[in-house]
Amino acid sequence: MITVENLSKSFPGKTSPVVALRDVSLDVSPGALYGVVGPAGAGKSTLARCVALKEKPDRGVVRFDGLNTAGLDGKRLREVRNQVAVLDMALHAERTAAGNVAAPLEQLGVDGPRRRARVGQVLDLLGLTQRAGQLPAELSKGQQRRIAIGRALAAGPTVLLADDPTGDLEPEESGTVLTVLDRARAELGVTVLVTTKDDSVVRRVCDEVAVLDSGRVVENGSVLDLVTDPTSRLADALLPSIDTPPAHAARYDRAADVVLVGFAAVGALLPEASIRFDIELATIGGGLTRIGDTPVARFRIGANGSQADAALAWIADRGAHVTQALDGPRRVAAA
Ligand SMILES: Nc1ncnc2c1ncn2[C@@H]1O[C@H](COP(=O)(O)OP(=O)(O)OP(=O)(O)O)[C@@H](O)[C@H]1O
């Protein structure tokens, strides 16, 4: 578990200090793929450098499994640093893909057979076994990025910090890089902390997230919990938008927005409510997406029938998040 407690950090500025982090606290669960998302200048890289113990905060503490890293020096500090790999995108241009992945193992004095076995395992995880003998210049940008991740993973760290791993990649190449990070978490049990400006990185692979803005955490927690929070800005960015014209909603006795999470809820809840309460239930906006592997829908629904309110309450009772229930849109339209 990585715990960040009340971290603050400023840098000297031309006229006044530039505040990069303001009282930032977060918990990264072991084995999580944790996203730190926010616009340029939000403080993501500063936070990543503090967690990597490359930057000293002005205030606050970074703990690894409860251990306060502020007081560490010498051997203990090296031990903790060895557990935490930091993604460095710059490859050795003169070394092959396999040679780059092998470099940290050579530094640790790992013998030839064990080194070759580990490099083979890592290249397989990267999906780049066929590229082992190629030089970085012969690889695409995304493949180079994957090799850099492989090099960071080679020595078996427990934590990987990846600052903007998909920065300036095409969407398809971003996808292959994110797949590697996801496999590192799933198959090697590595805790991965990713910083990004791109909300879709969170949607595709993160299970936990902190949203940074001007150095502050404005939202954090499990991504699936946040998407069901009607006040979450991240949810609004990740879920399908609803642009149903008001006149459309006014054809119904009740209109409401629902967020449904998981196969069972997305597939069955609305049809079941319609039958059980003998109402007409129509999807009049929104759509379906995936958060990681989980289907998530945000729909605007319209309901006609005397039991429309009871049906909406029943849907909410079954874990769906029902919001903006507009009272009697028909009456509003008629007024
Ligand atoms: N070494 C430094 N010296 C002075 N100011 C700095 C330094 N590092 C960061 N800053 C400032 O701190 C703030 C946060 O920067 P940081 O790089 O952490 O943000 P970021 O969210 O990673 O941005 P980006 O997505 O553009 O990389 C910015 O205003 C930045 O200019």
Q: Which ligand 1 atom minimizes the distance to the CA of 45?
A: 22
Name residue, tokens 């960071």: 152
Spell out, as residue ranges, where the chain has pLDDT lower than 50: 327-328, 331-335
Show me where the domains of the chain are located. 2-235, 239-334
* Torsion angle (degrees, nearest 10) of CA 181, 168, 34, 88: 70
pLDDT of residue 249: 84
Q: Which ligand 1 atom minimizes the distance to the CA of 12?
A: 4
pLDDT of residue 325: 55
Pocket test for ligand 1, best of 45, 163, 164 (most atoms within 8 A of CB): 45
The residues, any chain, with a CB within 8 Å of residue 251's CB and separated by 6 or more, are 302, 329, 330
d(CA 269, CA 188): 37
Ligand 1 pocket by C-beta < 6 Å: which residues?
11, 18, 20, 38, 40-46, 197
**Strand, coil or helix: 325:** strand
Topology adopted by domain 239-334: Alpha-Beta Plaits (3.30.70)
d(CA 262, CA 285): 19
- Tell me if domain 2-235 and domain 239-334 are identical in fold: no
- CB neighbours (10 Å) of residue 309? 17
Give the pLDDT confidence of 92-104 residue by residue, as tens digits.
999 999 999 999 9
CB-CB contact of 212 with 234 (8 Å): no
Give the pLDDT confidence of 219-272 residue by residue, as tens digits.
999 999 999 888 899 999 999 998 888 888 888 999 999 999 999 999 999 999
Give the angle 220-225-229 at the CA atoms, nearest 5°: 85
Q: Which ligand 1 atom minimizes the distance to the CA of 212?
A: 21
The residues, any chain, with a CB within 8 Å of residue 238's CB and separated by 6 or more, are 199, 202, 203, 223, 227, 289, 291
pLDDT of residue 230: 80
- 2-235 maps to which CATH number? 3.40.50.300
